[in-house]
């Protein structure tokens, strides 16, 4: 017999699969019309999100269960189920794994960390704040949050080592969390720097025939959702990652040797990639394909900087997890479940006819809660088409209704909502519980502090 924990896991897994089957059969019996019913899709979504959030089984295995359940019960087309395999997020993670390995293998991450370490070595507070600020700085350079996360992780790991911090110590984990969240969360206030932002801009332009301005978006959202949120993050890092060990500052730095040929080549490729990422509005090349080009260069015999067996040693779990997150969002969108969920939430909203702060809070809450179901990229896809309806119902101007989406998808509750954080958990030793703890604390502070401030700020800048 297996252990009690294994038996529990097996039993719960069988129950969830049985619930999926019963839901699908009942739905087909009650609704003979063609196409999947929402109740069966809802069971599949609830099961997948529950397994991801609880960690009952691995994220990759949960993804495979999701794939199999959706296809066996014909709840979605293969194109929707496997949408993640063709998504830019999938290929950004793939290229990020290669580029991250190259940065470590060539020693370039250590060289960059050696340059950063003296700036952050004064105290633990300086190190935590510096890691978060470095993450925010990268958000202005690279348009892809996924790309930034996979690039910053080896730099932060080498930075912790350069500062003489023990593996697994609170200070070292805090630096890692600070850099990751610093580059993932405030970037929702920088238009091209996150997938939900870009989805919102694209749908907004299609519906209202007006382009979102980079500068206007930055002015509306970055002062509060970027800058103040970064300050709250730094305060939480200092609270959660207090280290009883005395701060030692720099470890014996030694003298960096001359640049190797591999470092020079990789620096040239990364510099070219960053230039292309910065100018994507001119050439319209996806950051994913730029990253893939750099990854291929790292692997090519003769000019590459990685051994020939690198592809054989890649951990596929991050790729499966990200493809599952994107595929889940596609299934929710294709089935109409997301829109039905938004309308259900709408019907229960306590709206005052004259508009005001209460209606603003209610719409921010809808966006935040919807992110638990659709993940963050699905929030603007579901809510933007409902802008005029929400504006008429709430008495708020359409610009403010659109802004509530940004407030909502900048308020993360659990890591699985954001593919970049999913990738970060797979690429580091950080636990899902640890990341969820600081996300929930930051979300609570955001609701209590940022949302009221943001309402006042948005009301002022929107006239």
pLDDT tens readout for residues 326-337: 788 788 778 887
- H-helix or E-strand spanning residue 82: none
User: Hey, how many other C-beta atoms are within 10 angstroms of the C-beta on 4?
Assistant: 8
Q: What is the pLDDT of residue 22?
A: 39
Residue 69 pLDDT level (bands cut at 50, 70, 90): very high
Segment among 102-111, 152-161, 180-189, 428-437 with least mean pLDDT: 102-111
Angle at 337 between CA 391 and CA 347, to 5 degrees: 40
Segment among 14-28, 62-76, 230-244, 400-414 with least mean pLDDT: 14-28
Q: Work out the mean pLDDT of the chain and round it to a whole number.
A: 81
Residue 29 pLDDT level (bands cut at 50, 70, 90): very low
Overall pTM > 0.75: no
Residues with Cβ within 8 Å of 130's Cβ and at least 6 positions away in sequence, in order, are 116, 119, 120
Residue-by-residue DSSP string for 111-125 = HHHHHHHHHH-S-HH
Segment among 61-65, 242-246, 447-451 with least mean pLDDT: 242-246
**Ramachandran class of 418: left when φ > 0, alpha when ψ lies in -120 to 50, beta otherwise:** beta
Residue 2 pLDDT more than 70?
no
Q: What is the pLDDT of residue 32?
A: 41
Residue 463 pLDDT level (bands cut at 50, 70, 90): low
Q: What is the CA radius of gyration of the chain?
A: 23
Q: What is the pLDDT of residue 4?
A: 46
Residue 245 pLDDT level (bands cut at 50, 70, 90): confident
Please tell me which of 63-72, 278-287, 378-387, 423-432 the model is most confident about, judged by mean pLDDT: 63-72
Interval 411-428 mean pLDDT: 86
Quick one: CA dihedral 377, 378, 381, 386, positive or negative?
Answer: negative
Interval 40-65 mean pLDDT: 82
Tell me the two tokens of residue 155.
């730099």
Q: What is the pLDDT of residue 27?
A: 46
In the chain, where are the structural domains located?
Answer: 4-75, 86-195+211-244+262-317, 318-461
- H-helix or E-strand spanning residue 252: none
Residue 354 pLDDT more than 80?
no
Residue 28 pLDDT level (bands cut at 50, 70, 90): very low
Residue that wins the pLDDT comparison between 254 and 280: 280
Q: What is the pLDDT of residue 197?
A: 83
Give 76-101 pLDDT, tens digit per residue.
Answer: 899 989 988 887 767 877 887 788 78
CA distances in angstroms from 152 to 56, 58, 111, 428, 440, listed in the order given: 29, 24, 13, 11, 23
How far, in Å, CA of 30 to CA of 434, rounded? 43
Q: What is the pLDDT of residue 238?
A: 92
Q: What is the pLDDT of residue 7?
A: 46
Q: What is the pLDDT of residue 324?
A: 83
Q: Answer whether 145's CB lies under 8 Å from 183's CB.
A: yes
Interval 366-380 mean pLDDT: 83
Residue written as tokens 């990854």?
Answer: 295
How far, in Å, CA of 130 to CA of 109, rounded? 17
- CA-nearest of 189, 271, 274, 262 to 224 is 189
Q: What is the pLDDT of residue 203?
A: 73
Q: What is the pLDDT of residue 406?
A: 93
Q: What is the pLDDT of residue 271?
A: 85
Q: Provide the CA 393 distance to its chain's centre, in angstroms.
A: 31
Residue 154 pLDDT more than 80?
yes
Residue 6 pLDDT level (bands cut at 50, 70, 90): low
Residue written as tokens 């109740």?
Answer: 39
Q: What is the pLDDT of residue 455?
A: 94
């Amino acid at each position: 017999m297996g252990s009690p924990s294994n038996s529990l896991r097996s039993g719960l897994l069988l129950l969830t699969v049985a619930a999926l089957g019963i839901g699908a059969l009942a739905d087909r019996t009650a609704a003979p019309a063609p196409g999947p019913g929402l109740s069966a899709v809802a069971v599949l979504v609830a099961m997948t999100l529950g397994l991801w959030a609880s960690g009952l089984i691995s994220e990759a295995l949960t993804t495979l269960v999701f794939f199999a359940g959706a296809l066996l019960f014909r709840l979605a087309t293969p194109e929707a189920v496997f949408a993640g395999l063709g998504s830019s997020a999938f290929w950004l993670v793939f290229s990020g794994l290669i580029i991250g390995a190259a940065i470590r293998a060539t020693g370039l991450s250590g060289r960059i960390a050696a340059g950063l370490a003296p700036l952050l070595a004064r105290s633990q507070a300086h190190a935590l704040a510096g890691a978060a600020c470095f993450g925010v700085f990268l958000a202005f350079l690279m348009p892809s949050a996924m790309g930034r996360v996979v690039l910053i992780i080896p730099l932060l790991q080498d930075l912790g080592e350069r500062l003489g911090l023990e593996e697994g110590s609170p200070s070292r984990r805090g630096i890692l969390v600070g850099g990751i969240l610093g580059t993932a969360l405030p970037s929702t206030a920088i238009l091209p720097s996150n997938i939900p932002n870009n989805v919102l801009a694209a749908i907004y332009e299609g519906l209202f025939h007006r382009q979102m301005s980079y500068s206007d978006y930055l002015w509306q959202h970055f002062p509060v959702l970027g800058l103040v949120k970064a300050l709250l993050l730094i305060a939480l890092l200092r609270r959660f990652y207090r280290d009883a060990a005395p701060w030692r500052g720099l470890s014996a730095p030694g003298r960096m040797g001359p640049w190797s040929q591999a470092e020079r080549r990789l620096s040239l490729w990364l510099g070219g990639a960053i230039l292309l990422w910065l100018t994507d509005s001119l050439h319209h090349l996806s950051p994913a394909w730029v990253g893939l080009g750099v990854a291929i260069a790292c692997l090519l015999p003769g000019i590459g900087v990685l051994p020939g067996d690198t592809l054989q040693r890649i951990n596929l779990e991050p790729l499966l997890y990200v493809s599952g997150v994107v595929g889940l969002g596609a299934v929710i969108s294709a089935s109409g479940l997301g829109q039905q969920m938004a309308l259900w939430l709408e019907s229960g909203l306590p709206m005052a006819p004259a508009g005001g702060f209460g209606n603003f809070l209610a719409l921010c809450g809808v966006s935040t809660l919807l992110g638990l179901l659709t993940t963050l990229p699905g929030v603007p896809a579901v809510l933007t088409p409902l802008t005029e309806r929400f504006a008429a119902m709430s008495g708020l101007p359409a610009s403010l209704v659109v802004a509530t989406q940004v407030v909502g998808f900048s308020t993360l509750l659990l890591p699985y909502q954001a593919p970049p954080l999913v990738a970060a958990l797979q690429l580091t030793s950080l636990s899902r519980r640890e990341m969820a703890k600081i996300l929930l604390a930051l979300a609570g502070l955001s609701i209590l502090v940022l949302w009221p401030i943001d309402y006042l700020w948005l009301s002022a800048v929107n006239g």
